[in-house]
Copies of this chain bind each other. A is one copy, B any other.
Amino acid sequence: MVQANSNTINYFESVNKVLYEGKNSKNPLAFKYYNPEEVVGNKTMREQLRFSVAFWHTFTADGTDPFGAATMQRSWDKYDGMDLAKARVEAAFQLFEKLDVPFFAFHDRDIAPEGSSLKETNENLDIIVNMIKDYMKTSNVKLLWNTANMFTNPRFVHGAATSCNADVFAYAAAQVKKGLETAKELGAENYVFWGGREGYETLLNTNLKLELDNLARFMHMAVDYAKEIGFEGQFLIEPKPKEPTTHQYDTDAATTISFLRQYGLDQYFKLNLEANHATLAGHTFEHELRIARVQGFLGSVDANQGDSLLGWDTDEFPTDLYATTLAMYEILQNGGLGSGGLNFDAKVRRGSFEQEDLVYAHVAGMDAFARGLKVAHKLLEDRVFENIIDERYGSFKEGIGLEIVEGRANFHTLEQHALRNPNITNKSGRQEQLKAILNQYILEV
């Protein structure tokens, strides 16, 4: 627990520690479904869900949008520069404690401001990393992952590892080098790459092949450096198809896995999958999780949601119970997320600008995922869909189906089978019934 000393400001004075009060509570600052010590399956909810607070959205985002100025009211905003950076860390650990989350995550530039040179920037970072390290000693919260912000500064206007400018590649390398040192210093469980500027605006001025080759070179150097310094966290790539860049190379799970395999990086990386990035790529969240899971690349999750009628990344707090249920269904089948977690890469709406909204929003998201966990667990326990699927694909457990699966069939034997069996009988896929069952489980678990 963080030691309050006489000088410490209580940044969330109006908020007590958020407790589980159960489904009938009317207290907006209590959990209705998230009961951290309740056992679901073989673990507690806390262990299953591994919630993480995103430093950027919650402690640095100010509510600007492309047409509007900052709206967020934050009690730490009376400070600036390094004082602001320190105040945010204080506020952060206070919120972590009130929510009792086990993890947090940050970009390098969230926690400390850039200085007038890379050297000074790194010194700023060192100060804050040391402060965080101190706080972590007396806190239960751990670092789920850190990452490098290589998209905000104008030097990255044409990309970082995929910039047309070798100086920018070098700068990005220096930044990730420091990021890996930070990760090791703070015991991060993972290190994430999100390539917001790794892509192109127009093919008319782009050497796509060189950019992809350079991206792979960069990743290999990161792997090498992690080995060198003994950082053993999991490397993760976070796919997103577009925004800010018109086309981003790490488009979706399948594309990113392809890149990793093409360049011999597949043994070193898994994916950090974000719900809103899935929908921007034209996929459901559960699709991306499934694609990654069946190929062994499901590493961690950015837990948020989009607005299917808007074409940009709204990064809303996740409240859709269908999405949280089907996400947890994949995660439970994956045997959990390993070193990953559910990181709330989510921001309060620009109109939800009061500081308490940060708490309401996390409560909303944590409750939605807690319910999703319980529903998914019960669905699996009852083998609701598993039994249906087993029966549906039963023809591959015997006869010609088994020959196919075991590699003993060929076009000759299959043609013979087809000629001998003129009447093929299919069975209904029962989609409507399955959706009704899902509703009943969501409502009645």
| Min CB–CB distance A27 → chain B (angstroms) | 11
Q: In the complex, what residues of B have CB within 8 A of residue A392's CB?
A: 164, 205, 207
Whether B393 lies near A164 (C-beta < 8 A) is yes
| Min CB–CB distance A10 → chain B (angstroms) | 20
| Min CB–CB distance A366 → chain B (angstroms) | 10
Whether A411 lies near B174 (C-beta < 8 A) is yes
Whether A430 lies near B167 (C-beta < 8 A) is no
In the docked arrangement, what's the CA distance between A156 and B281, Å?
Answer: 27
Whether A282 lies near B294 (C-beta < 8 A) is no
Residue of B nearest to A406 (CB): B217
Q: In the complex, what residues of B have CB within 8 A of residue A209's CB?
A: 294
**Interface stretch of the complex, out of A38-46, A78-86, A93-101, A318-326:** A318-326
Encode contact with B along A166-187: 1 for CB under 8 Å, 0 otherwise.
1111110110110000000000
Listed from nearest, the 6 A-B pairs whose CB atoms lie closest are A311-B311, A166-B401, A258-B258, A173-B414, A308-B308, A351-B429
Q: In the complex, what residues of B have CB within 8 A of residue A428's CB?
A: 351-354, 356-357
In the docked arrangement, what's the CA distance between A119 and B361, Å?
Answer: 38
Q: In the complex, what residues of B have CB within 8 A of residue A339's CB?
A: none
In the docked arrangement, what's the CA distance between A390 and B395, Å?
Answer: 57
In the docked arrangement, what's the CA distance between A114 and B400, Å?
Answer: 24
Q: In the complex, what residues of B have CB within 8 A of residue A212's CB?
A: 294
Q: Is A14 an interface residue (CB 8 A)?
A: no
Q: Kindly list 4 other residue pairs between chains A and B, CB separation below 8 angstroms, not including A66-B313, A174-B411, A202-B429.
A: A212-B294, A217-B407, A321-B442, A348-B432
Interface residues of A in 212-226 (CB under 8 A from B): 212-214, 217, 221-222, 224-225
In the docked arrangement, what's the CA distance between A412 and B363, Å?
Answer: 43
Q: In the complex, what residues of B have CB within 8 A of residue A166's CB?
A: 395-396, 399-401, 404
Q: Is A60 an interface residue (CB 8 A)?
A: no
Whether A417 lies near B167 (C-beta < 8 A) is yes
Interface residues of A in 14-39 (CB under 8 A from B): 23-24, 28, 32
Q: Is A12 an interface residue (CB 8 A)?
A: no
State the copy count for this chain: 4
Q: Is A4 an interface residue (CB 8 A)?
A: no
Encode contact with B along A89-107: 1 for CB under 8 Å, 0 otherwise.
0000000000000000000
| Min CB–CB distance A319 → chain B (angstroms) | 4
- Identify which of B206, B214, B283, B319 contacts A439 (C-beta below 8 A): B319
Q: Is A335 an interface residue (CB 8 A)?
A: no
Q: Can you pick out 8 interface pairs between chain A and chain B where the beta carbons lie within 8 Å of each other?
A: A66-B244, A68-B154, A157-B426, A176-B411, A225-B410, A310-B311, A321-B439, A348-B431
**Interface stretch of the complex, out of A123-131, A132-140, A249-257:** A249-257
Q: In the complex, what residues of B have CB within 8 A of residue A442's CB?
A: 321, 443
Given contacts A151-B68, A209-B294, A295-B262, contact A310 B204 (CB under 8 A): no
Q: In the complex, what residues of B have CB within 8 A of residue A429's CB?
A: 158, 201-202, 205, 349, 351-352
Whether B282 lies near A312 (C-beta < 8 A) is no
